[in-house]
């Protein structure tokens, strides 16, 4: 026994040193929880993963009645992730990104207007692409 330390202090130190240390599995699980928590707080905010191409900036999203005199070029089904790390993304943000993707695709097809033809489902939506420029 070391001089100067009471018996109960030595017993307490022995009990503490006998505690199991952090295992790699526990550390890995804790790190995953930390990362998911950070993503849950950071991602749903204002960041957008989809950018509008320069050509697509002039593509408009309109209602079906506004394209009656236009030439239909086709349809485009676009999709984005609606969940990140098992966390549901904002439906408004998902819809916004789907529209940006559809505008990009419409520009690629030579269109200048898009009309949503189906509701958002599982992070995907179908749009009709139209060319409404005068001949």
| d(C-alpha 11, C-alpha 22), whole Å | 22
| d(C-alpha 85, C-alpha 116), whole Å | 28
What domains lie within the chain, and their CATH numbers?
Answer: 7-135 (3.30.110.70)
pLDDT of residue 87: 83
- What mean pLDDT do residues 118-124 have? 93
pLDDT band of 5, cuts 50, 70, 90: low
pLDDT of residue 66: 95
More confident residue, 12 or 34: 34
The torsion angles phi and psi of 14, rounded to 5 degrees, stand at -65, -40
Q: What is the pTM of this model?
A: 0.65
| Tens digits of residue pLDDT in 35-60 | 776 666 555 555 567 889 999 999 99
| d(C-alpha 90, C-alpha 80), whole Å | 12
DSSP code per residue over 43-84: TTSS--S----GGGGG-EE--GGGGTTSEEEEEEEEE--SEE
pLDDT at 9 over 60: yes
Residues 76 and 23 sit within 8 Å (Cβ to Cβ):
no
């Amino acid at each position: 026994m070391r001089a100067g330390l009471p018996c109960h202090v030595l017993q307490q130190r022995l009990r503490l040193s006998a505690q199991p240390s952090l295992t790699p599995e526990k550390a890995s699980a804790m790190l995953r929880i930390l990362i998911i928590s950070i993503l849950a707080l950071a991602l749903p905010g204002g960041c957008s993963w989809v950018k509008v191409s320069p050509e697509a900036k002039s593509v408009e999203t309109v209602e079906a009645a506004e394209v009656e005199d236009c030439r239909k070029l086709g349809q485009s089904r676009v999709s984005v992730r609606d969940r990140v790390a098992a966390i549901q993304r904002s439906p408004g943000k998902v819809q916004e990104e789907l529209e940006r993707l559809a505008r990009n695709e419409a520009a690629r097809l030579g269109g200048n207007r898009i009309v949503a033809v189906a509701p958002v489902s599982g992070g995907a939506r179908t749009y009709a692409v139209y060319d409404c420029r005068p001949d």
